Amino acid sequence: MGEPKILIVDDQKGIRLLLTEVFRHEGYQTFQASDGKQAVEIMRAENPELVLLDMKIPGMDGLDILKRIRAINPEVRIIMMTAYGELDMVKEAARLGAVRHFTKPFDIDELRDAVNACLKRADEAGRLVASPGGA
């Protein structure tokens, strides 16, 4: 299968670069999008296993992007990031399938651990599905 793929969607270039550096060091293939249109294009082209998605992006908010990403791949793991403590948005993101959320500024070690755990669970589930009879 190769390196697991992560799509990082944030309008702040510094956040994208930091997360790219952290997750490449962890052995993941990373892609960056600064807006919803790019995120959807990369999602279609690369089909990443996990998306780190900022909730507040100019032009298309994180919930709209989340819905479009889920329409492309309902199984993709999504972790939301926000600079805002908007409980309603967080609840809606969870209802739409986001597995976690982090409030900025987040602890990079906690985020890294959450991503590693998410992708490990996805990999284990994929192995179980690939070999239901154990063969």
We report the CATH number of the domain holding residue 23 as: 3.40.50.2300
Residue 59: which H helix or E strand, with range?
A: none
- The answer to whether residue 135 is domain-embedded is no
Does this model's pTM top 0.85? My answer is yes
What is the average per-residue pLDDT within 10-38?
97
With b for 16 or more beta-carbon neighbours within 10 A and e for fewer, the 19-57 pattern comes to bbebbeeeebebbbbbebebbbebbeeeebbbbbbbbbb
- The answer to whether residue 85 is domain-embedded is yes
What is the average per-residue pLDDT within 81-102?
88
Higher per-residue pLDDT: 132 or 124: 124
Of the listed ranges 7-11, 27-31, 103-107, the one predicted with least confidence: 103-107
The number of domains in the chain is: 1
- Domain with 99 in it: 5-130
Residue 92's pLDDT is 93
- The answer to whether residue 86 is domain-embedded is yes
What is the Cα–Cα distance from 102 to 110, expressed in whole angstroms? 9
| pLDDT of residue 118 exceeding 90 | yes
What is the average per-residue pLDDT within 12-18?
97
- The answer to whether residue 28 is domain-embedded is yes
- The answer to whether residue 109 is domain-embedded is yes
Say which residue the tokens 């799509």 belong to: 7
- The answer to whether residue 11 is domain-embedded is yes
